[in-house]
Amino acid sequence: MTQTLERKVVLVTGASSGIGAATARTLATAGHHVILTARRTDRIKALAADLTTDGHSAEARPLDVTDAGQFHEVAEEVVNSHGRLDVLVGNAGVMLLSRLDALLVEEWDRMLDVNVRGLFNGIAATLPIFRRQGGGHFVTVASIGAHQVVETSAIYSATKYAAWALTEGLRLESEPSIRVTTISPGVVDTELADHITDPFAAESMREYRSALIRPEDIGNAIAYALNQPADVDVNEIILRPSAQR
């Protein structure tokens, strides 16, 4: 049975495109207040304006998740403006696939910085707030890559295994009023793969992406996890195209 949604204040990282943008739209449409964050401020401002015009509650705030100080400031500003922050959707990520022997070390570092350090920064900025207010919900967008490694995905998968482990650690160490959810999508139709620079990985990805699900499918899964009664903690959802192996 569908529950009536309690209005929550939700901060979404990487809300300028793909899964983050779709999640922001789904959650705002469901009645939550959504803070869209990303580096491409023109995009988050445009989406927040669209949502507001449609009668929903949304705002945009610039945030580079690799900047711990900025993450802290944004989270505290949200609490100052709204009195609380209920949910952090840690979605920002990059997937710069390549074989290890291509040695694209700068891209390895970028994935580590955004996909892992970005989550550290989110936890550091929001865990004290969740503790202070007596509850909160961490949603981490990991990947099917947190469960399997394929050729070219070693570093990306390593960052997503780390995302899984961090979220599980939060579950074990947090009081029951703090819930945690890891969302592990298969192939989703977004801009993610467009940033791959390695020709071999780009070609392999073209085949891999022959079956796709939509970003809003992931937004709906996140809404499902948020919408459970406070004593129900949906710890992990894996969803993929039914044709994906």
Q: How far is CA 31 from CA 34, 218, 227, in A?
A: 9, 17, 11
Among residues 56 and 160, whose Cβ is nearest to ligand NDP?
Answer: 160
Closest CA to 127 of 85, 160, 82: 85
**Cβ–Cβ under 8 Å, residues 71 and 47:** no
Compute the distance between CA of residue 25 and CA of residue 19 in angstroms, rounded to an integer: 10
Region class of 112: left (phi > 0), else alpha (psi between -120 and 50), else beta: alpha
Name which position in 7, 40, 132, 206 contacts ligand NDP (CB under 6 A).
40
Among residues 69 and 229, whose Cβ is nearest to ligand NDP?
Answer: 69
- Does residue 65 interact with ligand NDP by CB under 6 A? yes
- Does residue 96 interact with ligand NDP by CB under 6 A? no
- Does residue 141 interact with ligand NDP by CB under 6 A? yes
Name which position in 56, 71, 91, 236 contacts ligand NDP (CB under 6 A).
91
Phi, psi (rounded to 5 degrees) for 3: -90, 155
Q: Length of the chain in residues, anyone?
A: 245
Residues 144-173, one symbol each (x = binds ligand NDP by CB under 6 A, - = not), give ------------------------------
Q: Using CB atoms within 10 A of its CB, is residue 46 exposed (0-12), middle (13-18) or buried (19+)?
A: middle
- Does residue 201 interact with ligand NDP by CB under 6 A? no
Name which position in 185, 196, 234, 241 contacts ligand NDP (CB under 6 A).
185
Name which position in 93, 136, 219, 241 contacts ligand NDP (CB under 6 A).
93
Stretch that binds ligand NDP, among 3-11, 87-95, 97-105, 200-208 (CB under 6 A): 87-95
Among residues 24 and 129, whose Cβ is nearest to ligand NDP?
Answer: 24
Phi, psi (rounded to 5 degrees) for 70: -65, -40
Closest CA to 115 of 97, 139, 142: 142
Q: Which residues are catalytic?
A: 156
- Does residue 19 interact with ligand NDP by CB under 6 A? yes
Which residues lie near ligand NDP (CB under 6 A)? 13-14, 16-20, 38-40, 63-66, 91-95, 114, 141, 143, 185, 187-188, 190-192
